[in-house]
Amino acid sequence: MISVQRLSKSFKGRKGVKQVLDDVSFEAFDGEVFGLLGPNGAGKTTTLRSIATLLQPDSGKVSVDGFDVTKDGRAVRNRIGFLTGDMKLAGNLSSREMLRFYGELNHMEPSHIKARIDRLSADLGMEEFLDRPISKLSAGMTQKTSIAVSILHDPQVIVFDEPTSNLDVLAVKVVADFIRESKASGKCVVLSTHVLGEAERLCDRVGILHQGKLLCSGKHDELLERYGQKNLEDLFFHLVFQGREEK
């Protein structure tokens, strides 16, 4: 499980200090999918990078299966598979070779690497391009390769930052089915998206982030009931625009 308690983060820029996350708290549980929703610049990637130990929080406590991201970074990284847009796979290696390379980096046994590559390429529909150089793949094929790289070590916690960007409808379904299967096998899945329909179909819990503040978080159906909204899109506009009017 993931616990984020009172997470704040600011960045220093030319115009001074910018508060990017302001007192963000939520929990994501095993056997569930948590969706972090919010418009561009809301702070979704910053939150997920903090969970993945790539950013040091200014304040607050973030833990993965009880391991603190600042104190037990290695234990957190072993448990987590993190997909992010800035992975930027490229070059002459094929997807299979890239996956082997990451497996070896993670000290996985060759037989385990092979079994995981076979399994993931079947689940994600990668067989057809597995041995082509990554530089010659389409954006969607590269995205599938990035997904496979991020979860090659079969982590208990899966953190996907916009997993379906660049994917066509068929590939979106492949990834969504994969997320459902991961959840069914007891994994904890957190994903960020601004495709609200996708979140509607996949997420057990959601959090809506806007300008660094979490406007709400909780069980999908309970949130709709609490705010009297019929779907996530309505809830999103209700909270985001209501928030603006109050300022």
Ligand X SMILES: Nc1ncnc2c1ncn2[C@@H]1O[C@H](COP(=O)(O)OP(=O)(O)OP(=O)(O)O)[C@@H](O)[C@H]1O
Name the token pair of 201: 């179909």
Site string for Mg ion, 104-143 (x = CB under 5 A): ----------------------------------------
32 vs 24, 120, 141, 222, CA distance in Å?
A: 20, 20, 27, 15
Smallest distance, Å, CB 96 to ligand X? Answer: 30
Closest CB to ligand X among residues 54, 172 = 54
For 141, the token pair is: 């094929």
Q: Measured over all CA atoms, what is the biggest interatomic distance in the chain, rounded to whole angstroms? A: 58
Look-up: residue for tokens 């200014």?
Answer: 58
Q: Which of 32, 34, 37, 45 touches Mg ion by CB under 5 A? A: 45
- Among residues 61, 112, 180, 194, which is the contact residue for ligand X, using CB under 6 A? 194
Q: H/E element holding 22?
A: strand 16-28
* Least distance to ligand X, CB of residue 146, Å: 15
Q: Is position 20 an interface residue for ligand X (rule: CB under 6 A)?
A: yes
Among 17, 41, 66, 109, binds ligand X (CB under 6 A): 41
Is 210 among the residues that bind ligand X (CB under 6 A)?
no
Rounded to whole angstroms, how far apart are CA atoms 37 and 12? 25
Within 10 angstroms of residue 222's Cβ, the number of other Cβ atoms is: 10
Q: How many residues does the chain have?
A: 247
| Site of interaction with ligand X (CB under 6 A) | 11, 13, 20, 38, 40-46, 194
